[in-house]
Amino acid sequence: MEIKVLGTGCAKCKALEKAVTDAVKQSGINATILKVEDIVEIMQFGVMTTPALVVNGEIVIKGRVPSVKDLTKLLTN
């Protein structure tokens, strides 16, 4: 599984990155987590509100930071 956290480095972007890392560790998911801070690359996904989460090329969250529990549920389904 490839997970990308899209964000320019704001507090919410960092919080999403940490929550995703925690969710992956807690659930034992085999995933690669990438942080994308380049605004041009973020815009290629059509994202105008950060942070955003992309799983296997599909945008699954944008503009908010869900709980670790919600992320775990999202990533294991």
Task: Give the pLDDT of residue 68.
Answer: 95
pLDDT tens, position by position, 18-35: 999 999 999 999 999 999
Considering the candidates 1, 2, 8, 10, report the single residue annotated as catalytic.
Answer: 10
Query: Predicted confidence band at 77 (pLDDT cuts at 50, 70, 90)?
Result: confident
Residue 65 to residues 6, 17, 50, Cα–Cα distance (Å): 12, 9, 10
- Pairwise CA distance, residues 74 & 77, whole Å: 6
Is 27 one of the annotated active-site residues of the chain? Answer: no
Task: Give the pLDDT of residue 40.
Answer: 93
Average pLDDT, the chain: 94
Domain locations in the chain as residue ranges:
2-76
- Is 2-76 CATH 3.40.30.10? yes
Is 52 one of the annotated active-site residues of the chain? Answer: no
Give me the mean pLDDT over the 27-54 stretch: 94
Task: Give the pLDDT of residue 56.
Answer: 95
Considering the candidates 3, 5, 6, 13, report the single residue annotated as catalytic.
Answer: 13
